[in-house]
Structure 1
Amino acid sequence: MKFTHIITLSTAAMFFLASCEMKNELTGSLTDKADTGALELGVSVKQPVSQTRADASDIDTNTFPITVKGTSAGVDTIVRNYNTLAEMPASITVPVGTYNVSSHTPGTLEKQMTAPYYSGDTEVTVTKDITSSVNVVCRMANSRIQLNYGEDFKKAFSEWTITIDDGSEMALPYTQENLNPEAVYWYFGDNVTAIKVNITAKTTAGNTVIQSQTFRKADASENYEEVGDNFTGGDALQINMGTVESATGTVTGITIKTHITFEDESESVEIPIGPTPPIPGPGEDTLMVTCIGKVNSDATSESNIFETGVNYSMAAGNWPTTDVLISTPAGLKSLKVTIIGGNNGFQGIATDMNFNNHEMIGSSLGDMLGSLGVSLPMPEEGMTSYTFPVGQFYAMMNIYGPTKNGQETDGTYGEDYHEFLITVEDKDGNVVGPLSLKVTINE
């Protein structure tokens, strides 16, 4: 009887010890199988130098989430997540090894935001029986962009569309609907070395201006050894739109002045640009990559055909002379043309000649078009000016009759005009287009 009692106590002790070991494994507590150490975690924010210190009081790092992830062998599967810094314990116990500790502003980093987004991470090695203090420093992941309009710009133009494009899936748009835009916080991502400011604007006199200007961080008038060529979080860009006036007060050009303040600097520096293209008058050549159409009907009138289009009657015989004037001081790199027919006959010709984003530089179409009565001198790479004579196509268009609206039997081409889409690029990487020229032909 006494022997039986001893066996029962030993069995109970074994079950008790096994139960304790299982509990320790489930709760992540100390076990005899792993050496451990402790972590004490904190989070701080490093703002760009140019921002006021008063802003720091508005950032409550206690609301920042914390993630602790093992990165060395044996602890790479251990992850601790805390919804906020305030919710996590004063210290946590983990097996010895190397860990990555990360934190960020609550929420998800978006491409475009109304406020700064801070994030950061750090590596830490946990040693047996040692408590390691870790401070995760979070820096701005996005950049501040501020667009300003000068009073002269607002008086000179009645409407406009401006985009700031970093080559990603979306661009930042501005129009005359908001004359005092708020600062935008923009996430550039990786390897963005340049932004492009594209403008399509109409003057109060009715002229249309199309301009594209590229700004590269590496071109900043001041640079620092620690500052790379990529736009990064914490950079601040200020883009000011203005005009150039003649002595008589006539608006002759647009100015785009861009300044950048680097994250660790207090003063802004200019990112200079080349010559500013003048605002075009009717039929004038312009600098940069600006295309202007000219219509001379009986040599009496001129207008911006990208805005008005071309409309003429075959019976009346008032076929216009239409030229697209292209000026590229940096040298022409690419001229691509797409033709969409307003009836099946002319569309067939456009298809046969492969006028679908067709590269005109180096094209062999010149001789073929010449045999059809279209005199089209082909552009050459490096040209600083070129005239694309759209009017040369009119005789061929007339062979196939007027443009029609939905009258084709197969319904393939339902528009009531022929359309030319023109895209120009210069050797500085500036691009204009596709510009749409619509030609309507009546009986």
Structure 2
Amino acid sequence: MKFTHILTLSTAAMLFLASCEMKNELTGSLTDKADTGALELGVSVKQPVSQTRADVSDIDTNTFPITVKGTSTGVDTIVRNYNTLAEMPASITVPVGTYSVSSHTPGTLEKKMTQPYYAGDTEVTVTKDITSSVNVVCRMANSRIQLNYGDDFKKAFSEWTITIDDGSEMALSYTQKDLEPEAVYWYFGDNVTAIKVNITAKTTAGNTVTQSQTFRKADASENYEEIGDNFTGGDALQINMGTVESATGTVTGITINTHITFEDESESVEIPTIGDDDKDEPEEPTPSESVSISEPEGNSYLIDGVDLALGTTDYPEKKVVVNMKAKDGIQNVLVKVKTTNGTFEFAAGLMGLTSENGLDLASDKAKDLSDLFTLPEVGDTQYSFTLNEKLLGLLMNTPGYEGIHDFTLTVIDQKGNQKSAVLTIRVNK
């Protein structure tokens, strides 16, 4: 045979062998074709039962990337990555062994997102000459958090900062700049059992109020055996901010109502909040301990009210005195009047007693009323609000002042703690 023919045949043989080797490399086969099986892969999404929480209607799983990774000896080096489910073949051939198949929403799971993020994985064993069908079920990896402000809260406070903290390196933050915040999809990670809500708010009167509340998943009013104590993907949280008001509408505190809807449930349940019990920090006195309103022993005007007879000088037998204490010093003493008498309301309005928060007796605006009220000083720890004879005389001897007059008294200390009481004065004909 001529040398050129031999060279040609040798070259052809080498190309044939190289082609076989390249084919094996492309298919990832580490063994003979006789030791392979096939995989048919699909992806589905398990949405929370309450569809309104997902904020998505049609999820296109054809856009989800897929990874097939060998996990057993002999195939542990095999990895198949497909950019999307739509791009991968109807079936793939791989050596027999055990594989992990995973898929997820396109992109990276981040701590804070505007949409749900779905992810899932499953394990499959490939058997010789068998085609195995695999469906990767993706569930929500993050949780939906919705903060809501009640109308009473928005009316009572002019500015605020609220943080929702799960103890990680990042916390959610809210201010008055967005009164209707969108839902946030939050990734809790592992082992988050408690969430703390911190509030610093300024009332429309300019007083600062701080509060810290904690809620735990384990404290939910109804729980289920299969649900653990950790916050996990698929949970939906609603945190509602409101106020505590006295009978006359004076704001005396902040309420935080929290509800959770579990992934496989349609009804939300309440999670009660508790005060901050972080033992590493010094405990602050509660408002009831640091601020108080009371009467001298033997008086019960705050309960029974004060009855005056119009056109007489029959003053009450006992002095009308309301005592206030503020351990950390008085910042404000507010007096607001609500009355059934239009004439008296007009007169009280001229003194600033009918405005939204009333008159602050500890401010310069009250200096002209020092002959009617004993005025407190900022920083005082005690103060007595007294109806002196001059004020009683005005009420009892001014024609047209008959009616029911509610004086709402609010003392606020220099840490924002406050206490309110209502003194009712009835002027009868």
Structure 1 window deviating more from structure 2 (20-29 vs 47-56): it is: 47-56
**2:23 counterpart residue number:** 24
Q: CA deviation at 1:205?
A: 2.2
Q: Distance in 1 between matches of 2:179 and 2:114?
A: 17
**1:284 counterpart residue number:** 291
Contact persistence 2:214–2:275 (CA under 8 A):
no
Q: Distance in 1 between matches of 2:330 and 2:20?
A: 90
Q: Distance in 2 between matches of 1:265 and 1:187?
A: 20
Q: CA deviation at 1:248?
A: 1.5
**1:185 counterpart residue number:** 185
**1:210 counterpart residue number:** 210
**1:111 counterpart residue number:** 111
Q: Distance in 1 between matches of 2:236 and 2:54?
A: 18
User: How large is the Cα RMSD of the aligned pairs?
Assistant: 3.4
**1:83 counterpart residue number:** 83
Contact persistence 1:254–1:278 (CA under 8 A):
no
Q: SS at 1:123's partner residue? A: strand
Q: Distance in 1 between matches of 2:259 and 2:181?
A: 17
Per the alignment, do residues 11 and 224 of structure 1 end up closer, same or farther by CA in structure 2, a change over 3 Å counting? same
Q: CA deviation at 1:200?
A: 0.5
Task: Please state if 1:294 is matched with 2:329.
Answer: yes
Contact persistence 2:53–2:236 (CA under 8 A):
no
Contact persistence 2:188–2:232 (CA under 8 A):
yes
**1:15 counterpart residue number:** 14
Identity %: 79
Q: CA deviation at 1:257?
A: 0.3
Q: Distance in 2 between matches of 1:153 and 1:295?
A: 24
Within a 5 Å distance, the mapping from 1:119-134 to structure 2 comes to: 119-134=119-134
Within a 5 Å distance, the mapping from 1:32-431 to structure 2 comes to: 32=32, 35-52=35-52, 57-274=57-274, 284=291, 293-294=328-329
Q: CA deviation at 1:275?
A: 7.5
Q: Distance in 2 between matches of 1:12 and 1:162?
A: 76
Q: CA deviation at 1:273?
A: 2.7
Contact persistence 1:43–1:136 (CA under 8 A):
yes
Q: SS at 2:72's partner residue? A: coil
Per the alignment, do residues 204 and 135 of structure 1 end up closer, same or farther by CA in structure 2, a change over 3 Å counting? same
Q: Mind listing any 5+ residue stretches in structure 1 that lack a counterpart?
A: 304-319, 324-389, 391-421, 423-443
Q: Distance in 2 between matches of 1:115 and 1:285?
A: 48
Per the alignment, do residues 33 and 46 of structure 1 end up closer, same or farther by CA in structure 2, a change over 3 Å counting? closer
Q: How big is each residue's C-alpha offset from its partner over 1:154-207, in whole Å with a ceiling of 9 and x where there is no partner?
A: 111111110000000011001111111110000100000010000011112222
Contact persistence 2:100–2:122 (CA under 8 A):
yes
Q: Distance in 2 between matches of 1:217 and 1:11?
A: 73
Q: Distance in 2 between matches of 1:139 and 1:112?
A: 17
Q: SS at 1:160's partner residue? A: strand
Q: CA deviation at 1:47?
A: 0.4
Q: Distance in 1 between matches of 2:10 and 2:167?
A: 71
Contact persistence 2:212–2:275 (CA under 8 A):
no
Within a 5 Å distance, the mapping from 1:430-441 to structure 2 comes to: none
- Per the normalisation by structure 2, the TM-score is 0.63
Q: Distance in 1 between matches of 2:147 and 2:52?
A: 20
Contact persistence 1:67–1:82 (CA under 8 A):
yes
Q: CA deviation at 1:15?
A: 3.1
Q: CA deviation at 1:6?
A: 11
Q: CA deviation at 1:18?
A: 2.4
Q: CA deviation at 1:22?
A: 1.4
Per the alignment, do residues 53 and 133 of structure 1 end up closer, same or farther by CA in structure 2, a change over 3 Å counting? farther
**1:315 counterpart residue number:** none
Q: Distance in 2 between matches of 1:206 and 1:55?
A: 38
**1:395 counterpart residue number:** none
Contact persistence 1:200–1:211 (CA under 8 A):
yes
Contact persistence 1:254–1:279 (CA under 8 A):
no
Q: Distance in 1 between matches of 2:103 and 2:229?
A: 26
Q: CA deviation at 1:116?
A: 0.5
Per the alignment, do residues 153 and 280 of structure 1 end up closer, same or farther by CA in structure 2, a change over 3 Å counting? farther
Contact persistence 1:208–1:280 (CA under 8 A):
no
Per the alignment, do residues 195 and 55 of structure 1 end up closer, same or farther by CA in structure 2, a change over 3 Å counting? closer
Contact persistence 2:55–2:115 (CA under 8 A):
no
Q: CA deviation at 1:26?
A: 2.4
Computing the radius of gyration from Cα coordinates, the structure with the larger value is: 2
